[in-house]
Copies of this chain bind each other. A is one copy, B any other.
Amino acid sequence: MTYSVQELAQLAGVSSRTLRYYDQIGLLPAERGHNGYREYSPAAVDRLQLIRYFQEFDFSLTQIQDLLTQSSTAQTAALAQQRAHLQERRDHLTALLNTLDRTLAARNGGPHMTDTEKFAAFKQQQLTDNDRQFGTEARHRYGQETVDASQQQFANLSAADYQAMQATEQDLFTQLKTVATTQDLTSKAAQAVYALHRQWLCFTWNNYSTEAHRGLAQLYRDDARFANYYNDRVGVANAATTLAAVIQHYAH
């Protein structure tokens, strides 16, 4: 017993156009009857189910095309890799729901939403990015408390402060680029780099000390994640080492 396009479309919850498209790109080839109509065998039904299954996991059609030809172990690996992605998406949705609830409450005459809260979801994203990059290492070297306090501080920044912090970092990058090329540690640009970096730190550090600053400089030089961050953002290969050298030079 075979299915027509419409029948299979109904069964699988897709449009007939979709089935014709899948046939066209060779993802789900159909056999043809004497009149040229498409006919789908039970095997095709199974294949379509698999396709829809993979599709739910955010694979593209070309990826699915590949997956369906590959071995079972390769398929397993791909699925496992997708798991983390799914979990991230769910956590993000959870955060969004919380934010949305607060937004709605505020709009319904509830407690007024501060600028900080309005930006919370975006900053949460930023924050976890930061944590992914630096969190583990910093925790190891400076202890849990410092990092938590720093995140706390970060989350408490007002929207204006947050933008000011971003602007400061931008200035830092610009000046750092100059120093990275000139390599002149006594230039005005180098002094600016030190001042800006210190200023940037003080947005989130409440107890600045030159020792901690120098400690951070070591991290910038020695840890690939820190180094990559600065090299990427500044756009030169020796940005991190230059920044570290500047800090070592001025922080006393």
List the interface of chain A (C-beta within 8 A of B).
7, 10-11, 13, 45, 49, 52-53, 56-57, 72-73, 75-76, 79-80, 82-84, 86-87, 89-91, 93-98, 100-104, 107-108, 111, 114, 118-119, 121-122, 128, 131-132, 135-136, 144, 148, 151-152, 155, 158, 160-161, 163-164, 166-167, 170-171, 174, 186, 188, 191, 195, 198-199, 202-203
Contacts and interface: CB of A to CB of B under 8 A. Distances in A.
The 3 residue pairs across chains A and B that have the minimum distance between CB atoms: A90-B93, A148-B170, A76-B107
Contacts of A57: 96, 100
A166 B170 CA distance: 26
Contact of A56 (B96, B98, B199): B96
Contact of A98 (B7, B163, B199): B199
Contacts of A90: 90, 93-94, 97
B171 A122 contact: no
The oligomer's copy count stands at 2
Contacts of A152: 171, 174
B86 A166 contact: no
Contacts of A73: 107
Contact of A198 (B93, B98, B135, B171): B98
A108 B83 CA distance: 14
B151 A171 contact: yes
Given A119-B49, A195-B98, A93 B83 contact: no
Nearest to A102: B195
A122 B91 contact: no
B148 A11 contact: no
B91 A104 contact: no
Contacts of A186: 111
12 contacts: A10-B166, A45-B163, A73-B107, A80-B104, A86-B97, A86-B100, A102-B195, A111-B186, A131-B167, A148-B170, A148-B171, A155-B171
